[in-house]
């Protein structure tokens, strides 16, 4: 068995990729909120994620299953991953670097004019083993479908919430939320049907 960066042994056949001529396209849209919960939580079947009562229970929970929605977010940036590389020039054949896989992705988002009690509570999540679920402008959940409705894993100790930036006369006050998603985070990305409540969720 090779390591994660060594491709061996070779399968008997290359796996199929495009199997439908004109498949439905996938587009996440604008992320307006996120939901954090502790690593290991999930919903089964996925259809339960679209039942408001499911989330009422999670939002008011007092144990490991509690879900924490963020305030409304602006300027959300989730960039493409960058390769982890070695070599180039005379070090490697034809000067082509050896790409050993992808790196984690730094997500950033702005929270405008939020009460700093909310910000302080979000800062307290920094040591939690977290996963994140995204919510777009259409009230859809963007989740990991790794056999269940799950969150995307956040790299441990990467969550940071900034102190307030004062906007002055022309700009809004803001706090910046940032964290790193684990490599290959979007391999299991799926989008639910439209809900009627996702963007309205708050903790009890």
Task: List, for residues 168-199, the tens digit of each pLDDT value.
Answer: 999 999 999 999 999 999 999 999 999 999 99
pTM of the model: 0.91
3-state class (DSSP) for residue 189: strand
pLDDT of residue 12: 86
3-state class (DSSP) for residue 64: coil
pLDDT more than 90, % of the chain: 87
Confidence of residue 3 (pLDDT cuts 50, 70, 90): low
Taking the alpha carbons at both ends of the chain, their separation in whole angstroms is 49
Confidence of residue 145 (pLDDT cuts 50, 70, 90): very high
What is the rounded average pLDDT for all residues in the chain? 94
Residues 150-162 pLDDT 10s? 999 999 999 999 9
- Tell me: pLDDT of 8 over 90: no
Task: Residue 192: name the closest of 23, 46, 76 by CA.
Answer: 46
């Amino acid at each position: 068995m090779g390591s994660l960066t060594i491709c061996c042994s070779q399968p008997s056949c290359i796996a199929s990729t495009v199997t439908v001529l004109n498949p439905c396209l996938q587009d996440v849209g604008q992320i307006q909120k996120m939901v954090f919960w502790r690593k290991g939580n999930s919903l089964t079947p996925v259809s339960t994620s679209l039942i408001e009562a499911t989330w009422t229970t999670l939002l008011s929970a007092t144990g490991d299953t509690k879900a924490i929605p963020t305030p409304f977010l602006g300027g959300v940036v989730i960039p493409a991953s960058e390769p982890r590389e070695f070599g180039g020039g005379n070090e490697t054949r034809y000067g082509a670097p050896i790409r050993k896989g992808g790196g984690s992705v730094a997500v950033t988002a702005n929270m405008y004019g939020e009460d700093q009690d909310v910000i302080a509570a979000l800062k307290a999540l920094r040591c939690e083993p977290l996963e994140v679920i995204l919510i777009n402008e259409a009230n859809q959940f963007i989740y990991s479908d790794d056999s269940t409705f799950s969150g995307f894993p956040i790299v441990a100790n990467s969550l940071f919430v900034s102190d307030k930036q004062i906007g002055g006369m022309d700009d809004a006050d803001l706090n910046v939320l940032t964290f790193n998603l684990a490599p290959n985070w979007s391999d299991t990305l799926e989008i639910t049907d439209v809900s009627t409540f996702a963007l309205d969720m708050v903790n009890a």
